[in-house]
């Protein structure tokens, strides 16, 4: 199998998958004969090959996926003119507090917002898969500690919370979460140097033979 064929296999798997695929998942396509570094190089090359198209290859919290570019959204929306229900301001502010200050309890959120938090609001965010209880604070009543999920990052097109804009005001943070889906997150995977610029170890030599059919 040459490099072009390997990229074709990766491309097909990623396009057909309904969920992001991690590098370890992609390695199974080649019976683990390609290492993680080699696959990252191939994925980077695929990113470049799709750079001028309406669909892009990105790395998010749970793996790699193809997705439409933000600038294509207005055209795709014409296929489905019904607008999805918008989240209330209270919901977005609650989500922003959890995202920026996690882990937090319901009491922490109420102290920051200055109002009571409806339990149905938290359940809505949990049902959406954006937040989860990750433990309890060791205090009276042992209140649940909430944090965001990898699914939350995936929906925003982010790899980590570090990519959220640095803002202190909860209202501004909520504004970011309400519009970030329309922004280009410019997510780029951290790719190791190209294979040809690295010393070829015995395992890398085997990978090179697998891709080219030519012993090193």
**pLDDT of 211 over the 60 cut:** no
Query: What is d(CA 106, CA 113) in angstroms, rounded to the nearest whole number?
Result: 11
Radius of gyration of the chain (CA): 21
**Cβ pair 118, 94 in contact under 8 A:** no
Residue 72's SS3 state is: helix
Which pLDDT value is given to residue 109?
Answer: 92
pLDDT, the chain, mean: 79
* Crossing angle of helices 89-101 and 170-179, rounded to 10°: 100
pLDDT tens per residue, range 75-86: 988 887 766 667
CATH numeric code, 3-69+185-212:
1.10.10.10
pLDDT tens per residue, range 105-143: 999 999 988 899 888 899 989 998 999 999 999 999 899
Residue 1's SS3 state is: coil
**114 burial class (0-12, 13-18, 19+ CB within 10 angstroms)?**
exposed
C-beta atoms surrounding 155 within 10 Å: 16
Query: What is d(CA 102, CA 96) in angstroms, rounded to the nearest whole number?
Result: 10
CATH numeric code, 89-182:
1.10.10.10
Give span(s): CATH 1.10.10.10, the chain.
3-69+185-212, 89-182
pLDDT tens per residue, range 149-183: 998 988 888 888 888 887 777 677 777 676 543 43
Q: What confidence category does residue 199 fall into, taking pLDDT thresholds of 50, 70 and 90?
A: very low
**pLDDT of 200 over the 60 cut:** no
Distances (CA, A) of 25 to 14, 19, 39, 68, 85: 11, 11, 11, 22, 34
**Cβ pair 40, 192 in contact under 8 A:** yes
pLDDT tens per residue, range 57-109: 999 888 999 999 889 988 988 887 766 667 788 888 899 899 999 999 999 99
Which pLDDT value is given to residue 197?
Answer: 33
């Amino acid at each position: 199998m040459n490099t072009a064929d390997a990229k074709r296999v990766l491309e097909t798997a990623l396009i057909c998958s309904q969920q992001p695929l991690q590098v370890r998942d992609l390695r199974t396509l080649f019976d683990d004969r390609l290492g993680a570094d080699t696959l990252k190089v191939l994925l980077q090359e695929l990113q470049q090959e799709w750079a001028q198209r309406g669909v892009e290859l990105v790395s998010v919290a749970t793996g790699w996926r193809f997705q439409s570019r933000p600038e294509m959204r207005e055209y795709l929306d014409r296929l489905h003119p019904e607008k999805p229900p918008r989240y209330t301001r209270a919901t977005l502010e609650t989500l922003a507090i959890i995202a920026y200050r996690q882990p937090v309890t319901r009491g922490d959120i109420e102290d920051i917002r200055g109002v009571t938090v409806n339990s149905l609001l938290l359940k809505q965010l949990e049902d959406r898969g954006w937040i989860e209880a990750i433990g309890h604070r060791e205090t009276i009543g042992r209140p649940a500690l909430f944090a965001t999920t990898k699914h939350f990052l995936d929906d925003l097109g982010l790899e980590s919370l570090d990519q959220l804009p640095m803002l202190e005001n909860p209202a501004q943070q909520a504004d970011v979460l309400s519009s970030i889906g329309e922004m280009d997150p410019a997510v780029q995977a951290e790719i190791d140097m190209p294979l040809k610029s690295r010393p070829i170890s015995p395992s890398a030599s085997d990978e090179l033979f697998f891709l080219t059919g030519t012993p090193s």
